[in-house]
Structure 1
Amino acid sequence: MMSAQAAVENVAGQDLVAVRIDGVEIPETEIAREMQHHPASSLAEARHLAIQALIVRHLLVSEAERQGLGADVGADDDSVDDPRIAMLIEREVVTPEPDEITCRRYFDNNRQQFDRPDRYDASHILLASPPDDTEARDAGRLMARDLIAKLQSEPHLFAELALAHSDCPSRDQGGHLGLVSRGETIPEFETYLFSLKPGELCLAPIETRYGVHIIKLDRKLPGEAAEFDALRDQIGEYLRLRSRHTALRQYLLLLAGQARIEGFDMEAAHSPLVQ
Structure 2
Amino acid sequence: MTASLFPDLIVNGEVVPHTLVAAEVQNHAAPSGKPGIAWRKAANAVAVRTLLLQEARRRGLVAHPAEVGPGRFETEEEALIRDLLDQTVNVDPPGDEAIRAEWSRDPTRFRTPPLWEVSHILMACDPRDPEAKSAALARAVAVQEELRDRPGDFARLAARHSDCGSRMAGGALGQLGPGDTVPEFEAALRGLAERETTSAPVLTRHGYHIIRMDALALGAELPFETVQPRIATALEKAAWSCAARDFISNLVAGAKVTGAELGAM
SS of 2:78's equivalent? coil
1:239-265 CA-to-partner distances (Å, cap 9, x unmatched) read 111111111111101111001112211
Q: Please give the root-mean-square deviation of Cα atoms over the aligned residues, in Å.
A: 4.4
In our comparison, the structure showing a higher alpha carbon Rg is 1
In the superposition, the TM-score normalised over structure 1's length comes to: 0.59
* Match runs of 1:165-204 below 5 Å: 165=160, 167=162, 169=164, 170-179=166-175, 184-185=188-189, 190=193, 193=195
User: Contact 2:198–2:212 (CA<8 Å) still a contact in 1?
Assistant: no
Give the structure-2-normalised TM-score. Answer: 0.60
Cross-structure match for 2:102: 106
Deviation at 1:222, TM superposition (A): 5.5
Aligned ranges for residues 55-134 of structure 1 at < 5 Å? 55-66=47-58, 68-70=59-61, 73=62, 79-83=76-80, 85-116=81-112, 119-123=115-119, 130=141
- SS class of match (1:25): strand
Question: Paired residues, what number?
Answer: 219
Asked if 1:241 is matched to 2:241, the reply is: no
Which residue is 1:228 aligned to?
224
Shift of 1:106: 1.7
Asked if 1 retains the 8 angstrom alpha-carbon contact of 2:10 and 2:259, the reply is yes
Post-superposition offset of 1:117: 7.5
Identity between Structure 1 and Structure 2 (%): 21
Q: Following the alignment from structure 1 to structure 2, what is the Cα–Cα distance between the partners of residues 61 and 23?
A: 14
Change (3 A) 1:139 1:265: closer
The answer to whether residue 11 in structure 2 is matched with residue 11 in structure 1 is no
Unaligned runs of 5+ in 2: 66-74, 123-138, 178-185, 202-209
Distance 2:146 2:82 in 1: 68
Q: Distance in 2 between matches of 1:31 and 1:214?
A: 44
2:27–2:42 contact (8 Å) kept in structure 1: no
Task: Tell me the SS of whatever aligns to 2:76.
Answer: coil
Residue identity opposite 2:222 in structure 1:
A
Decide whether aligned partners of structure 1 residues 139 and 119 sit closer, same or farther in structure 2, where only a CA change above 3 A counts. closer
Greater Cα shift, 227-236 or 239-248: 227-236
| 1:125 and 1:165 in contact (8 A); partners too | no
